Amino acid sequence: MLLELLLAVALAGGWETHGPAPSVSVVAAGGPDSRRVYAIAGSVFRSDDGGETWRRIFDAPPDTGLLNILQVDPRDPDRLFVAAYQAYQTVPFSHFTTTFYRSVDGGETWTVQLGVSDASLCSMALDGQAVYVACKGRQTWFFRSEDGGDSFEGGWATFFGLGVPTLEIAADGLLVSSNGWQSRDAGRTWQPWVYIPLGCGFTSLAIDPSNPNRMFVSEGSMLTFCGEVQRSLDGGVTWSRTTNVGGPVLDLVMDPSDPSFIYVAAAPVGRPARVLVSSDDGQSWQNLELPATAGPIDLALAESGERLYAATTAGVYARSLLRTRSISPRQ
């Protein structure tokens, strides 16, 4: 009988940070390049060396603030989107306008590509030249672009119902929202999808690119004491809790190079926040020993799966990962 040695999540070195600022809200890996990474820390920053050095590439215009939206084209690390909101007062309500900016040269120059009135809670998803935007204000909006963001069409959307519809794209092009709707024609028509359990507030949805029936959702917030990771292995028909991670889960990402690996940013009550990894559908979790002074908020993985980034209250932390592999002994 052949004896196989499984090397699960081998780690190359530990975590390290070099900024770009004390508090980072979003981090995004730059497509297939494991060393390109972007972050939002008041401004938008870019690193070309895995987070060792940073430079500021975008500031929100005066009287506006950046939303936690930072979308990088998984095929082209030079194409990315950010969004800023502006508040204005009209008695008796406050209103917001959200503006989406695009760069096609890695953040050297920016152009306005879309403005959404009366909306301050938005999400975005990219799939090649397809770009999707959903926003929530007093009503819900949905827009799509089929030319990489050069132009958008869409408008008021009644089908999403309550909540901010976070968008996710499956490998077969299926567009799904976190509040249970799906579209197979680039958002032109929508149908009820599946029930997603959201007992403590949705934070992220991940769909296996090699098996769209396998998906995970995370829930929780920094304002609640509850939160879980739930999984479905039948396309969302049924859901089950994974092993308890001990508190709110602020983000969940799936390794694009090996979907068996799931990473979460967990904030257990009364204990330091942690980054955990599972390779068995959440039946067990390994603590990746993020420094206790860093509270992880957002995670990003390089497309190669070789480098993991965590946006934290103490900067962007990064570490290298060695992939799982099986070794058979000599006969």
Predicted local confidence at residue 91, as pLDDT? 57
Angle (CA) 186-216-80 rounded to 5° is 50
Picking from 162, 248, 256, 254, the residue whose alpha carbon sits closest to that of residue 203 is 248
What is the CB neighbour count within 10 angstroms for residue 60?
Answer: 20
For the cut 70, the answer to whether the pLDDT of residue 157 exceeds it is yes
Look at residue 153 and tell me if it is in a domain: yes
- The reply to whether 157 falls in a domain is yes
pLDDT over threshold 80, residue 327 = no
Q: Is the pLDDT of residue 314 over 70?
A: yes
Question: 168 and 89, same structural domain?
Answer: yes
**Is 64 found in the same domain as 47?**
no
* Strands across the sheet containing 80-90: 65-72, 80-90, 93-103, 111-117
Q: In this predicted model, what pLDDT tens digit does every residue of 169-218 receive, in sequence order? A: 888 888 888 877 888 899 888 888 766 666 677 888 899 989 988 999 99
In-domain check, residue 1: no
Element (H, E) at 75: none
Q: What angle do CA 305, 307, 308 make, to 5 degrees?
A: 100
138 CB burial (10 A radius; 0-12, 13-18, 19+): exposed
User: How many angstroms separate the Cα of 244 from the Cα of each of 58, 193, 226?
Assistant: 39, 26, 11
Same domain, 184 and 222: no
**How is residue 92 written in tokens?**
């008796």
34 and 110 housed in the same domain: no
pLDDT (tens digit per residue) in 230-289? 999 988 888 898 988 877 899 999 998 899 999 999 987 777 889 999 999 999 999 999
Burial 282-321 (b: 16+ CB within 10 A, else e): beebeebebeeebbbbbbbbbbbbbbbbbbbebbbbbbbb
208, 174: one domain:
no
Q: Please indicate, yes or no, if residue 330 is contained in any of the structural domains.
A: no
Task: Say whether both 47 and 123 belong to one domain.
Answer: no
- Do 114 and 215 belong together in one domain? no
Burial of 239 (0-12, 13-18, 19+ CB in 10 A): middle
Indicate the pLDDT class of residue 7, thresholds 50, 70 and 90: very low
Which residue among 142, 161, 193 closes a domain? 193
pLDDT at 331: 46
Q: Which of 193, 228, 257 represents a domain boundary (last residue)?
A: 193
Residue 120: what residue type?
A: S
Environment class of residue 111 by beta-carbon count within 10 Å: exposed (0-12), middle (13-18) or buried (19+)?
Answer: exposed
DSSP assignment string, 301-327: E-TTSSEEEEEEBTEEEEEEEEPPEEE
CA separation (Å) from 265 to 80, 91, 99, 308? 24, 40, 29, 12
Number of domains in the chain: 2
What 8-state DSSP symbol labels residue 258?
-
The pLDDT tens digits of the residues spanning 287-296 come to 999 987 888 8
pLDDT, average across residues 36-56: 96
Q: Is residue 135 situated within a structural domain?
A: yes
The confidence score (pLDDT) of residue 148 equals: 94
- CA pair distance 120, 158, nearest whole angstrom: 17
pLDDT of residue 247: 79
H helix count then E strand count, the chain: 0, 30
Q: Check residue 1 and give its pLDDT.
A: 33
Burial (0-12, 13-18, 19+ Cβ within 10 Å), 198: middle
Task: Tell whether 226 and 294 lie within a shared domain.
Answer: yes
- 206 inside domain: yes
| 266: in domain | yes
Q: Check whether residue 318 and residue 233 sit in a common domain.
A: yes
* Residues 58-116: tens digit of each pLDDT: 999 998 999 999 999 988 999 999 999 998 766 555 678 999 999 999 999 999 999 99
Higher pLDDT, 37 or 119: 37
> pLDDT band at 132, cuts 50/70/90?
very high
**Lowest-pLDDT range, 124-128, 146-150, 157-161?**
157-161
What percentage of the chain's residues is helix, strand, coil (to nearest 5)? 0, 50, 50
Closest CA to 230 of 260, 203, 255: 203
Residues 157 and 278 in one domain: no
Domain boundary among 140, 169, 193: 193
- CATH of residue 137's domain is 2.130.10.10
Residue 219 has pLDDT above 70, yes or no: yes
DSSP 8-state assignment for residue 331:
-
pLDDT band at 4 (very low <50, low <70, confident <90, very high): very low
Same domain, 185 and 220: no
Q: 20 preceded by cis ω (within 30°)?
A: yes
Could you list the residue range(s) of the whole structural domain that residue 153 is in? 60-193
| Residues 64, 52 share a domain | no
Of 256, 302, 252, which Cα lies nearest the Cα of 36?
302
- Strand-pairing partners, residue 66, are 84
